[in-house]
Amino acid sequence: MKIVNWFRIKLKRSFDRIKNEDLKKSALQAIPFWIASIITGLFAVLYTKLFVEAEHLTAYVFNQHAWLLFILSPICFLLAWWLVHRFAPYSRGSGIPQVMAAIEISSPKNSNIVDKLLGLRIILIKVLSSLVMAIGGGAIGREGPTIQISASIYKFVYQILPTWWPKVPKKNMIITGAAAGLAAAFNTPLGGIVFAIEELTKTHFSYYKTAIFSSVIIAGLSAQALLGPYLYLGYPKLDGLSGSIFFGVALVAAISGLLGSGMSKIILIIFDWKAKFKFSYNHILYVVACSLILVSLAYFVSQEALGSGKDIMQKTLFTADKYVKWYTPILRIAGPLLSFTTGASGGIFAPALGAGASVGSLVASWFNVSDIDTNMLILSGMVGFLTGVTRSPFTSVILVLEMTNRHNVIFHLILAGMIASLVSIIIDKHSLYDHLKKQYVKELNTPQQTEMTEQVN
């Protein structure tokens, strides 16, 4: 009996020791996520404020002396492109495909390659280039860039840990950073989690869930500490929808899904065409031409061609001016096309939402539906267009729900996301991000191609 008791005591002590060691290891592994989350939240707030001020500056110039944009825009577009071209070629565009590529190729032997996609230089150039583009009136968003910035922050925190610190795989840090970045950019914690599940992780979610949950919460709380518990859009009126609105939702989703996928296809065609440019001056001419065309659309047609598109969402959802002009969706598609294809930094999330809102508003005007039904069609257009670009219907649905805090229309928006996802396949089976991710992976795995891209892109 004494031997049995002795064995029990020894076994209990061994289990206690193992348990304590596991707890200690888990706590040490969690600390880098928490630190990176706080930094991400604070950085997202600063970036948001700077981006808003940049858009306000553009609006001020346009309202005071619109002709000045014919000078300001080409200069800003060229400077934004040059910063990327000269210092960080893989900071171009939204940043989400770069994060996806980094996740796919992340391994110890590819550390130097991943450094080209995520890092401190990427953060600096991403911010500077996108802000300069915004000042020039570029139809870009800050949300995609925030995701690449956040993933870079997490990667940096990972790299500076002491050698004795119990580390998690770098891939986990990058995925978690991207989710936290989206949550902080839109103030949509569930959106960040769903984005990680639907868009980024190709393995079982159980490997990442604890880190993602805690990081999204901390990053969101850090942002809210400075900005308050704001909604990205607000509280549109959606009570008392008509019973037949589902037919309108389906129509808007189909149209916006096709347009979102079509815009993505055109972007890819332009990129393929630009890849044939042999000299830098070809890129310079293209950037200048894009800026002048965009300013001309704003000057001679409507100012709605400029900016991220958030103003259109807010105007149609929260004012009596519910209906847009017939050409507004064209402007909101042309703006991102002209801005995104320059090769400067800038996201496509917000422009896609703005384009979708204009589609929903236009369709509502065709049938002269009530203001409440119009709001529903606007939100459906936002979900549909973003789904057409990203092919992530659940992320699109959750983002729009959290932006407006109107969960009573969740079934309407899920329907919109499903229909948009289905019709998008007619134009292309894969999303814009998937195509760009494959392009980046191919470039990075082909040294000569990478060197050529860095020289001319």
Whether 146 shows a pLDDT value over 60: the answer reads: yes
Structural domain count of the chain: 2
Number of Cβ within a 10 Å radius of residue 128: 18
Q: Within this chain, do residues 250 and 389 fall inside the same structural domain, yes or no?
A: yes
Is 433 inside a domain boundary? yes
Is 10 inside a domain boundary? no
Interval 272-303: pLDDT, tens: 999 888 877 889 999 999 999 999 999 999 99
pLDDT of 334: 96
Range of the domain at 183: 34-227
pLDDT of 24: 58
Give yes or no for a contact between 358 and 310, defined as CB atoms under 8 angstroms apart: no
Give yes or no for a contact between 377 and 405, defined as CB atoms under 8 angstroms apart: no
Is 269 inside a domain boundary? yes
Is 240 inside a domain boundary? no
Structure tokens at 57: 């500056």
Q: Within this chain, do residues 307 and 217 fall inside the same structural domain, yes or no?
A: no
DSSP 279-330: SHHHHHHHHHHHHHHHHHHHHHT-GGGSS-SHHHHHHHHHSS-----TTHHH
Q: Within this chain, do residues 221 and 264 fall inside the same structural domain, yes or no?
A: no
CA pair distance 164, 169, nearest whole angstrom:
15
Give yes or no for a contact between 174 and 155, defined as CB atoms under 8 angstroms apart: yes
pLDDT of 228: 62
Interval 345-404: pLDDT, tens: 998 989 999 999 999 999 999 998 999 999 999 999 999 999 999 998 888 998 898 888
Q: Within this chain, do residues 268 and 398 fall inside the same structural domain, yes or no?
A: yes
Is 375 inside a domain boundary? yes
Q: What is the CATH number of the domain that holds 90?
A: 1.10.3080.10
Q: Within this chain, do residues 263 and 340 fall inside the same structural domain, yes or no?
A: yes
Is 238 inside a domain boundary? no
Q: Within this chain, do residues 221 and 285 fall inside the same structural domain, yes or no?
A: no
Is 160 inside a domain boundary? yes
Q: Within this chain, do residues 331 and 258 fall inside the same structural domain, yes or no?
A: yes
CA pair distance 246, 372, nearest whole angstrom:
13
Domain final residue pick, 196, 227, 258 = 227
The b-or-e profile of 379-416 (16+ CB within 10 A means b, else e) is bbbbbbbbbbbbbbbbbbbbbbbbbbebeebeebbbbb
CA pair distance 74, 64, nearest whole angstrom:
18
Q: Within this chain, do residues 201 and 249 fall inside the same structural domain, yes or no?
A: no
In single-letter form, the type of residue at position 146 comes to T
- pTM listed for this prediction: 0.87
Instruction: Classify residue 121 by burial, with Cβ atoms within 10 Å: 0-12, 13-18, 19+.
Output: middle
Q: Within this chain, do residues 358 and 428 fall inside the same structural domain, yes or no?
A: yes
Most confident of 20-24, 203-207, 434-438: 434-438
Distances (CA, A) of 452 to 119, 276, 446: 21, 11, 10
Hunting for tokens 């801005």 — which residue is that? Answer: 339
Domain final residue pick, 197, 227, 257 = 227
Q: Within this chain, do residues 67 and 194 fall inside the same structural domain, yes or no?
A: yes
Q: What is the CA radius of gyration of the chain?
A: 23
Q: Within this chain, do residues 141 and 260 fall inside the same structural domain, yes or no?
A: no
Give yes or no for a contact between 34 and 218, defined as CB atoms under 8 angstroms apart: yes
Q: Within this chain, do residues 290 and 192 fall inside the same structural domain, yes or no?
A: no
User: Who contacts 22 (Cβ-Cβ below 8 Å, separation ≥6)?
Assistant: none
Is 76 inside a domain boundary? yes
What is residue 196's DSSP assignment? I
Number of Cβ within a 10 Å radius of residue 31: 12
Alpha helices in 160-208 (DSSP H): 170-186, 189-195
